[in-house]
Structure 1
Amino acid sequence: MILEHADGDPILVLDEDQIWALLERGRFGRLIVVLGQRADVFPINYATAPDRSLIFRTAPGTKLAKLAINEDVLFETDQISEDTAWSVTVRGTAQWLQSSAEIEEAEQLQLRPWVPTYKDNYVRVIPSEVSGRHFQFGPHPERELGEGTGGG
């Protein structure tokens, strides 16, 4: 995917289609869950579903327990190369998949755990807001110095 920056601007605000194209190529990100005054960040691998939601697998534990109490989540993924970078954020609601039909649909995505452990719980993140930026690296711009700025 080639992202065109207008007028040499090093920062490109991505539209929804560009964001989902990047999410579909990605596989790893961070899930942020807030409970009370405490925010926790969980690294996850994920897949995108055809309905533009995110699916991840998890074992019973802290992440699943926190999602049962507060289903509002934030997800972030990014990629950095030698001359560009991008970052995408998804704000949404986490839904623990319970029905056989939902689980079967999630299994069609062929999402596998990072490590050989049992992660039999599927969670869908239903987006309410997506945002993203693409960055073009380059030299730091020089400031034009004028009167009163010490430059002459």
Structure 2
Amino acid sequence: MANGTDDAAEQPITELTAQESWELLSSGALGRLASTVSGRVDIFPVNYVVHEGKVYFRTAEGSKLVELTINRDVAFEVDEIAEKTGWSVIVHGTARRLQKLSEVAAADELPLRSWLATPKFNYVEITPTEITGRRLVFGDEPDH
């Protein structure tokens, strides 16, 4: 301990446990979905909800839904930035549009409402294969 501070608290990057990552992911509302088709990567902002270890969002017909049909492998990122700290959580997994009436009815009960006044009738579920997170402490760059 230097200057009476805990060295761990001064680290600029701290890896989070899976549980910590899930807790932070669950606290968010807006994330970014990354998908790729034919070598082209696209990133889409989506509002989302976490439920029973999966990520859910709604979408309209269009490029996002088409891409998820062609390649189900996705990354999903959520972060929060404050004045001196921040965090970032990334989920890698597979996405699928919910099709069974019972699945859609269950998803419709989730607190997931579109932020835009556009019809979004498709529910998408991301089943994670990996979750990672980092807590960040901002500060001046060290001397060279």
TM-score, normalised by the number of residues in structure 1: 0.86
Alignment match of 2:29 (pick from 16, 27, 30):
27
> How far apart are the structure 2 equivalents of 1:80 and 1:71?
29
Report the alpha carbon displacement of residue 63 of structure 1 after superposing the two structures with TM: 0.6
> How far apart are the structure 1 equivalents of 2:14 and 2:35?
28
1:85-115 Cα distance to aligned partner (Å, 9 max, x none): 1111100000110112111221121201111
1:68-95 Cα distance to aligned partner (Å, 9 max, x none): 1110001111110001011111000001
Runs of 4+ in 1 over 6 A off after TM superposition: none
Structure of higher CA gyration radius: 1
Partner residue, 1:15 = 17
Asked whether the 8 Å contact 1:90–1:127 carries over to 2, the reply is yes
**Is the aligned partner of 1:37 residue 2:39?**
yes
Q: Which sections of structure 2, spanning at least 5 residues, go unmatched?
A: 1-5
RMSD: 1.5
Q: Which has the higher contact order (CA 8 A, sep 6+)?
A: 2
Tell me the percent identity.
45
Partner residue, 1:148 = none
TM-score, normalised by the number of residues in structure 2: 0.91
1:11 partner letter: I
Question: How has the CA–CA distance of structure 1 residues 85 and 94 changed in structure 2, closer, same or farther, with 3 Å as cutoff?
Answer: same
Partner residue, 1:104 = 105
Report the alpha carbon displacement of residue 9 of structure 1 after superposing the two structures with TM: 1.4
Residue 65 of structure 2: SS of its match in structure 1?
A: helix
Residue 31 of structure 2: SS of its match in structure 1?
A: strand
How many matched pairs? 139
> How far apart are the structure 1 equivalents of 2:26 and 2:78?
11
Report the alpha carbon displacement of residue 5 of structure 1 after superposing the two structures with TM: 7.5
> How far apart are the structure 2 equivalents of 1:5 and 1:109?
41
Report the alpha carbon displacement of residue 117 of structure 1 after superposing the two structures with TM: 1.0
The structure carrying a bigger strand percent of its residues is 2
Asked whether the 8 Å contact 1:73–1:93 carries over to 2, the reply is yes
